[in-house]
Amino acid sequence: MRYGVIGMGAIGGFYGAKLAHAGKEVHFLSHSDYQYVKERGLQVDSCDGSFHLPHVNAYGAASDMPKCDVVLIGLKTVNNRLLPELLPPLLKEDTLVVLIQNGIGVEEDVQKMFPEVQLAAGLAFICSAKTEPGKVNHQCYGYINIGNYSCKQQEKIDEVVNDFRQAGVDANEVEYLEARWKKAVWNMPFNGMTVALNTQTDILLQHPSTLQLIKDQMMEVIEAAQACGVKNIDETFAEKMIYNTVHMTPYSPSMKLDFEFKRPMEIDYLYTRPIEEARKAGYRMKKLEMLEAELRFLDLRQRTSE
């Protein structure tokens, strides 16, 4: 299959590079470091083994790209407004678009933009960053779950999962809504708290007060998910997320990096939308509502001070 990658950052750059390194045909839409990658290639420094792609199918414009069987969207959700321009040149009649993005409600809104396009969620569990041109720093984890949202071709989902596995990425198909909310159990506490308290994941878990607050926020997400009808999610999942985070490399999540580099934060899909969905189902995420308000304040203050 021919893959297209829109968003050659920490996520799209890593997964696209893994597929290309395994011999898959991958075409990347690059923005800020297009010229650098064309001239020098793409370097992946990885805990699972580093590698360099000397020749990368990189493009500065979506209109120059070929039509693809699968398109991986690695954009931040704050840039989804660009999809009506960026995505159509890559689409065939049966293209599968995998949104490797954070948050609740992403697929619903993209489906409204492209009613006929087949969509799946890509849930990436990875510590990865891209803070300089042409280099992805993969620190730990790296597996990806695929949740079918509107794909009518099960064999295409199966093939994507198999291609990732052949590329050395642990990949599995999962139930869509359950997977989205399970990802939120980690994302909602850690992304916002590292910004609000200007710290990293490990420090939050070393202090009893913030450890308890993280646990409380995780339970709000779990109870919200249950109110929304999600199965197979309870307190044991929060305990698993805490355990995994304690044993992973100290990490600044994507929202913390966005704030540090003065980029817009993904507040809408990471906080506002799940809070709204929970409220519709009769549940209030009170601690996370407060965190959302703090993030809105910090985001506005940063943008108005520039």
Which residues are part of the catalytic machinery? 183
**CA-to-CA distance for 28 and 101, rounded, in angstroms?**
17
